[in-house]
Structure 1
Amino acid sequence: MKNIILETEMINRKHNGFSLESKGIENGYIKEKYGKYGDQNINGMPSLSIPLEWKNIPENVKSYALVMEDYDAIPVTGFSWIHWVTLIPGDYTCLKENASLKDEKLIQGVNSWISDMGGLNKEEASHYGGSAPPDKEHTYTFRLYALDKEIELNKGFYLNELYREIEGHILDVAVLKGKYKN
């Protein structure tokens, strides 16, 4: 399989218009309520999902896929921590705050809170799992893939399944980064 991340980064540079924003990020930092310092959680996992909005949408979009990852977790956990993976209908231009728990049209995959380090079951981990850096400030990367087809996966899918399904169907990708304090 091709390296999807590198492929999509090249697409983003080529089109240079599709963009992702969030009112939940100020001065480069994710607001505390969307992570471990917030009040909402599922068995200890921060669950108040951050609002997102996208612009300059490519033509012929049928659906979107969103992946939120923490690459700064690699030295601590041994892998990049997946915080959110979800399929979004093609007519959307935003996700409202707490969409992970309130929007039934989203099809959400499992995040890394399903691992031994997170301790949640598949149902609990099939939501937004907010920022919770264990050692220092971490940077979180959001990638929104604009796709030319509707992706057919069931709730609780894994990130590798998503990457297999979207390969060859990526119209563009928008990237957003935000930091969260330890």
Structure 2
Amino acid sequence: MRCSTSKRCSARCFPNVASVLRYGNGMAFGGFRGNRQSVIWKWQFTRKCLRKLPFNARVLGVNKKRTGDTVRDTGTMLVSADFNTIPEQYAKNAPDDARVDGVPCVSFPFYIDHLNPAAKYLHWEFSDPDSIPVCGFEWIHWTMANLPVAALMFDPSDAHALQIPPDFSRRVTAMIPEAVQGRNSQASPLYGQDQRNLQLVAHYTGPQPPDKDHGYVLQIWGTTSPIAGLEQGFWLNEMLHGLEHSQVVDGGGITLIGKC
């Protein structure tokens, strides 16, 4: 998340505000928008309400560390982008050469700042909670696992030292073969797609909301080691189960708008 005063701000402003909360019933939401004052108020209100929730809720990707009688969040990651609305070339109005079988396939760029140095591997999920009223489930657009932080380019002179470049989904396998991508919702048996077409069913697919603008959630986790047992074309639940048995030392997220 970034405040509305700057397009590319490297300041660490409330890094957990845009974190995603996932509840036992599978609902997910995240990413407050508005001016800085309203963001502060909403986050304080949310933190206060979380203590009263009768069911288990946690900030995905952020472990709790107990020191004596005190429990504190260990997440410091700040996820940001140069836009609030996903640009057309990565979404519904992508040109023909940026599509596979008619589906947008060029992934958008984003930044990861203030990453905990103990985090050696990155994993993420990009999904659409607003698709639930449309199709009955949260649409998965992109999953990535076991991406070594050391394999990413660092530019000490740039305000954003850790960058995920455009079209990373299509390029990462050749550049960083140990990183794996999971199946998206195009792989659902409900849609009858060819499961061997991994460019479609196991890579980034861009937003194409049919009814109205949707809020798309990018959630990232940092772990000390890779998740064991994941191969190209894994399912999201396999990654989530793997995270439960991993040492997650950092996490963060951002909500972006996909135009109808």
TM-score (norm 1): 0.88
CA displacement, residues 98-148 of structure 1 (integer Å, 9 cap, x when unaligned): 010011223100001112565433322100011110111000000010112
Over 3 Å counting, the alpha-carbon distance change for 1:112 and 1:164 in structure 2 is: same
Taking the TM superposition and a 5 Å limit, the aligned residue runs for 1:145-156 are 145-152=221-228, 153-156=230-233
Look up the match of 1:181: 259
Residues 92 and 259 in structure 2, CA contact (< 8 A), matched pair in contact too: no
Taking the TM superposition and a 5 Å limit, the aligned residue runs for 1:18-33 are 18-23=77-82, 26=83, 28-33=84-89
Count of matched residue pairs: 178
Find 1:166's aligned residue among 243, 246, 251. Answer: 243
Q: Indicate yes or no: 2:170 matched with 1:101.
A: yes
Q: What is the distance in 2 between the residues matched to 1:165 and 1:46?
A: 29
Displaced runs of 4 or more, over 6 A:
none
Name which one, 1 or 2, has greater alpha-carbon Rg: 2
Find 2:140's aligned residue among 82, 85, 99. Answer: 82
Taking the TM superposition and a 5 Å limit, the aligned residue runs for 1:1-182 are 6-9=57-60, 11=62, 14-15=73-74, 17-23=76-82, 26=83, 28-39=84-95, 40-87=98-145, 88-91=147-150, 92=152, 93-104=162-173, 105=176, 106-116=179-189, 118-122=191-195, 123=198, 124-152=200-228, 153-168=230-245, 169-182=247-260
Residues 127 and 139 in structure 2, CA contact (< 8 A), matched pair in contact too: yes
Look up the match of 2:4: none
Residues 219 and 254 in structure 2, CA contact (< 8 A), matched pair in contact too: yes
Percent identity for Structure 1 against Structure 2: 28
Unaligned runs of 5+ in 2: 1-22, 29-56, 64-71, 153-161
> 1:7: how far off?
2.7
- Secondary structure, counterpart of 1:164 in structure 2: helix
CA displacement, residues 58-91 of structure 1 (integer Å, 9 cap, x when unaligned): 1211211010010000001110000000122222
> 1:52: how far off?
1.6
Letter in 2 for 1:157: F
Higher strand content, 1 or 2: 1
Q: What is the distance in 1 between the residues matched to 2:61 and 2:194?
A: 36
Letter in 1 for 2:180: I
Over 3 Å counting, the alpha-carbon distance change for 1:133 and 1:67 in structure 2 is: same
> 1:41: how far off?
1.0
